[in-house]
Structure 1
Amino acid sequence: MRKKDCFYLGKIAKKFSFKGEVLAYLDTDEPYLYENLESVFVERNKDLVPFFIERSSIHKNDFLRIKFEDIDSEEEADQVMGCAIYLPLSLLPKLEGNKFYFHEIVGFKAVDERLGEIGIMQGVNDSNAQPLFEILNGEKQILVPMVDEFLVKVDRENKQIILKTPPGLVDLYLED
């Protein structure tokens, strides 16, 4: 499985028992959706390796307590500590309306109600406190705060993000 065909679910954070159980931190608002997985892909040496799950349960809201097949001791659990876990994109629940996955809008046209088409969505930068839409307009990168007030519509059919930005925000980038 290729990483680009998967989404990041979380990270194996700590050992749970001497029998090889681990706790995986789940980077999701709805961890219970992933409580009954049969398998996950574990990133080891930059490759995604399938790991089959004997049993799992939610632990303290954000963690998934996992017993993998063939990991039966603390020493074996040590080998997956800190590893990221992934699932195929096909397992993501479908979102509707203005809810979207960051990877889903890459390549969409960014259209401002006032300015018209302003570029192509390159992604979302969520490394700061305020996530930003990254829009490419020729050689220029336009950054627009990802706030509900600016997002009018996610038009999946026409592959567009319709925005209503305040005067001056995008205009600043478009000036030569």
Structure 2
Amino acid sequence: MTKEECFYLGKIVAKFSFKGEVLIKLDTDEPETYTEMESVFVEYNDNLVPFFIERSYLHKSTLLRAKFEDIDTEDDAEDMIGTDLYLPLTMLPQLPEDKFYFHEIIGFDVIDAEHGNIGKIVSINDSTAQALFEIDKNGKQILIPMNDQFIDKIDKKNSKLHVITPEGLVDLYLG
């Protein structure tokens, strides 16, 4: 299993008990979705290693308290702190047609109401206060804020994202 075949689930942030339990900060708005997992992939030295979960439940509503098989001591748990957790993309819940996961729209054509096809989405930059569509148009980069007001329609079947951008935004990049 490679990272490209997975999605980031969260990070082990602390050990919880002397029996090897850990606390996981989940990267989701719905942590209760992930309380019944049988296993996860833990990133060790750039490799994803499967770990089976003996039990898990929500701790203070936002953290997942988990006990992994064969992690039975504080020292074992200490070694896991700071590691990232992943699940296969196939385990993502289905979204309604008008919603999308970031990885789903990579490669989509972006169709602007005024300019027509302005390129393909090459990535999503979510390291800024406002997530941005990074679009490639013949080697030029176009950045469009990922704002519900700008998204007109998502056509997953035809891999197209229709947008209505503010006047002059696309011209900044293409002009």
Question: Structures share a fold, TM > 0.5?
Answer: yes
**1:7-156 → structure 2 map (5 Å cutoff):** 7-156=7-156
- How many angstroms does 1:98 deviate by? 2.4
- Are 2:97 and 2:156, in contact at CA under 8 Å, matched by a contact in 1? no
CA distance in 2, matches of 1:123, 1:98: 19
Of the structure 1 ranges 80-89 and 59-68, higher mean CA displacement relative to structure 2 is found in 59-68
* Counterpart amino acid of residue 69 in structure 1: E
* Counterpart amino acid of residue 86 in structure 1: Y
Q: Which residue of 2 aligns with 1:165?
A: 165
- How many angstroms does 1:36 deviate by? 0.5
User: 1:67-96: per-residue Cα shift (whole Å, max 9, x none)?
Assistant: 000011001111111000000000001112
SS in 2 for 1:71: coil
- How many angstroms does 1:97 deviate by? 2.8
SS in 2 for 1:165: coil
CA distance in 1, matches of 2:24, 2:119: 38
CA distance in 1, matches of 2:98, 2:14: 36
* Counterpart amino acid of residue 68 in structure 1: F
CA distance in 2, matches of 1:81, 1:130: 29
* Counterpart amino acid of residue 55 in structure 1: R
* Counterpart amino acid of residue 126 in structure 2: D
SS in 2 for 1:93: coil
- Are 1:32 and 1:58, in contact at CA under 8 Å, matched by a contact in 2? yes
- Are 1:12 and 1:84, in contact at CA under 8 Å, matched by a contact in 2? yes
- How many angstroms does 1:61 deviate by? 2.2
CA distance in 2, matches of 1:167, 1:54: 55
TM-score, length-scaled by structure 1: 0.98
- Are 1:97 and 1:153, in contact at CA under 8 Å, matched by a contact in 2? no
- How many angstroms does 1:41 deviate by? 0.2
CA distance in 2, matches of 1:35, 1:150: 35
CA distance in 1, matches of 2:18, 2:94: 38
- Are 2:132 and 2:143, in contact at CA under 8 Å, matched by a contact in 1? yes
- How many angstroms does 1:52 deviate by? 0.2
- Are 1:6 and 1:87, in contact at CA under 8 Å, matched by a contact in 2? yes
